[in-house]
Amino acid sequence: MENVVVNMARREIDQFTVPRKVSKIRWLEGSVFPQKNLHFATALHVDGKVDTLTIWSCENQRQFEIMRAEDVKAGFNPKQLAEISHRGEVLDMRVIDDQEPLLVTASSLGEINLYKSKIQADSSTLQHVATHRHHGFPNLGVAGATSLSIRPQALNEIASVGEDSRLVLIGSDNIQKTLQRSDRVSSGLSAVCWRSSSSIAVATKSGQVRLFDRRDISKSVSPVLQDPRQLDPLTCIAQHPTDVHKLTTGNDEGAVSIWDVRNMSKPEVKAIKVHNSIVWEVMFHPNQPDKLISSSQDGTLATVNWKQALNEYVSDATGTKDEYIATYWSSITNVLSVNSIDYHNRANILLAGADSGGILHSVQ
């Protein structure tokens, strides 16, 4: 594999521990900020047992100023507000932020589930609203729903992909309703994100990025994006916060790539080998989009400056300058997979969930 190798700067990240594997973690940012308390949701997993969704609250130490790392460290002692069991393993979770935030989950049973959270000072609740199976094989049983994404701005549609290699569009106000369903894509689909309110991108297990037009998702818009030098399965995908043409993907071998959908033949930057194993989630830093944040099976989080990598890539066509600075974040007691990340773009706190039960947290 041709990858950019990155120089390492390793830092310690603080950890709060829960007695289960944290498979997904998402902030409930809410519409009001600053808040006295910050809230986030986790999907907790124990093999062979029922998964649980949990809402947590942590004190916002400095409500009117930018938080400092030591404030977060001192004040990060989350309290559990509400908990509910979840059918099947949670493979993805997203939040529709509202007065009463909605949690949308994709499960290993191929179901999309909707939960309503009610966060109040005295009592908080997490209530199941609806469940519907959208992925499966006729007569052959279950196909897990591997990833989902909420349509930006309107928030009225959910795109989900599954082991059945189909992309499905679902109405968020009525998740029983399948709006559209794609034909089967021969390579398995691993992740999905909305590029804009009219276009959807999916990552495949054969290293491709396929684009779909929301008006008709039966077939992907060809040609597909594929890096001829990098055919490892893609595991995650995310959209740039401001540039509609840019996407980032993470792959099975620990590399992240930046794509410009106007240039289908190769990614913007050579795949950057950030991690030593599967990249489980990748995202552009919401406030500094020239940085990528990623989490990996190798037990670390990383931030890497892809803009710097891009400049080097353009100026050095021979590809010999292969070293860029990335910062790794790991906890001394966590050596297991960091499954999920999310960034609170107003409180500037990065959260991550790990298989060791660690909730890793840091100001970025």
Which residues in this chain contact another protein in the complex, by CB under 8 A? 17-19, 21, 23, 46-49, 88-89, 91, 108, 137, 140, 143-144, 146, 163-165, 184-188, 204-208, 224, 226, 231-232, 235, 252, 276-278, 297, 331-337, 355-357
**To the nearest whole angstrom, how small is the minimum distance from the Cβ of residue 341 to another protein?**
15
Residue 206 tokens read as: 């054969």
Q: Which is nearer to another protein, 176 or 276 (CB)?
A: 276
Write b or e for each residue in 85-113: b if 16 or more Cβ atoms lie within 10 A of its Cβ, otherwise e. ebebbbbbbbbbeeeebbbbbbbbbbbbb
**To the nearest whole angstrom, how small is the minimum distance from the Cβ of residue 47 to another protein?**
4
**To the nearest whole angstrom, how small is the minimum distance from the Cβ of residue 163 to another protein?**
6
Other beta carbons within 10 Å of 28: 23
**To the nearest whole angstrom, how small is the minimum distance from the Cβ of residue 135 to another protein?**
11
**To the nearest whole angstrom, how small is the minimum distance from the Cβ of residue 13 to another protein?**
13
Q: Which is nearer to another protein, 186 or 318 (CB)?
A: 186
| Spatial separation of the C-alpha atoms in residues 24 and 18, rounded to whole Å | 13
Q: Which is nearer to another protein, 66 or 74 (CB)?
A: 74
Residues 39 and 81: beta-carbon distance below 8 Å: yes
Residues 289 and 22: beta-carbon distance below 8 Å: no
Residues 43 and 93: beta-carbon distance below 8 Å: yes
Residue 235: beta bridge partners? none
Q: Which is nearer to another protein, 1 or 244 (CB)?
A: 1
Q: Which is nearer to another protein, 139 or 318 (CB)?
A: 139
**To the nearest whole angstrom, how small is the minimum distance from the Cβ of residue 280 to another protein?**
8
Q: Which is nearer to another protein, 314 or 335 (CB)?
A: 335
Residue 103 tokens read as: 């949690």
Q: Which is nearer to another protein, 28 or 142 (CB)?
A: 142
Q: Which is nearer to another protein, 79 or 177 (CB)?
A: 79
**To the nearest whole angstrom, how small is the minimum distance from the Cβ of residue 214 to another protein?**
21
Positive or negative, the Cα torsion across 26, 29, 34, 35?
negative
| Spatial separation of the C-alpha atoms in residues 357 and 16, rounded to whole Å | 8
Amino acid making up residue 362? S
Long-range pairs of 71-77 with CB within 8 A, sequence gap ≥ 24? 71/363, 72/14, 72/349, 72/361, 72/362, 72/363, 73/14, 76/14, 76/16, 76/361, 77/16
Place of tokens 């701005």: 153
* Length of the chain as a residue count: 364
Q: Which is nearer to another protein, 23 or 239 (CB)?
A: 23
Residues 131 and 105: beta-carbon distance below 8 Å: no
